[in-house]
């Protein structure tokens, strides 16, 4: 099975799990009226931003995707791995901006929440996929290259996710 096919299946798995998670969290937010929901979202966002600026530890699960997935057929493994990475909360969270994903989903409702979380999941898998493609083409040089530019990759992912979420939020109201 081609690595490109597995990558595409992972991408679809991530997008679906992100969409579902965002819809559920957004639906949970509808227990509050819009002004209260936005106030809760703003307060939570300020708390996360302060914690990030002060370099306080945010809740984190320090684990990779379940190894049991590797025993499954390759397409099922790819879909499951993508789904786990798309949820993000079930694996290691790479950077603090992720905490804005569920906050924005809660604050904006199920439709926009699904779009925001799916955007995050898609960017996460797209960046992983691009790195994997580079690894295949470059023949193993990527690991040492990444050690040199890890902060730049995290910064770029943060910017892309932030811009996409900001655009979705701007069109929400």
The pLDDT tens digits for 33-89 are 989 998 998 899 888 888 878 878 777 766 677 778 778 888 888 888 888 888 887
Across residues 122-146, what is the average pLDDT? 66
Sole residue written with tokens 């900001």: 166
Mean pLDDT over each residue of the chain, to the nearest integer: 79
| pLDDT value for 54 | 85
- DSSP letter, residue 90: T
Our measurement of the distance from residue 161's CA atom to the centroid of its chain's CA atoms, rounded to an integer in Å, reads 8
Tokens standing for residue 25: 């969290």
Confidence of residue 117 (pLDDT cuts 50, 70, 90): very high
Going 154 to 38 to 32 to 34, the CA torsion angle's sign is negative
Confidence of residue 157 (pLDDT cuts 50, 70, 90): low
CA atoms of 105 and 60, how far apart (whole Å) = 19
- DSSP letter, residue 31: T
Tokens standing for residue 71: 């025993």
**CA dist 64 to 47, 49, 156, 160, Å?**
27, 25, 22, 23
Which of 68-72, 99-103, 119-123 is least confident? 68-72
Confidence of residue 129 (pLDDT cuts 50, 70, 90): confident
């Amino acid at each position: 099975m081609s690595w490109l096919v597995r990558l595409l299946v992972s991408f679809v798995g991530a997008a679906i799990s992100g969409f579902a998670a965002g819809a559920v969290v957004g639906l949970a937010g509808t227990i509050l009226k819009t002004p209260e929901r936005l106030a809760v979202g703003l307060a939570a966002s300020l708390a996360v931003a302060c914690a990030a600026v002060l370099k306080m530890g945010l809740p984190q699960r320090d684990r990779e995707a379940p190894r049991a997935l590797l025993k499954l057929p390759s397409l099922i493994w790819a879909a499951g791995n993508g789904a786990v990475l798309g949820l993000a909360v079930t694996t290691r969270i790479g950077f603090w901006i992720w905490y804005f994903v569920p906050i924005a989903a809660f604050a904006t409702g199920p439709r926009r929440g699904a779009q925001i979380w799916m955007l995050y999941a898609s960017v996460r898998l797209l960046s992983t996929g691009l790195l994997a493609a580079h690894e295949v083409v470059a023949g193993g040089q990527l690991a040492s290259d990444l050690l040199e530019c890890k902060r730049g990759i995290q910064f770029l992912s943060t910017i892309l996710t932030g811009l996409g979420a900001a655009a979705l939020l701007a069109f929400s109201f």
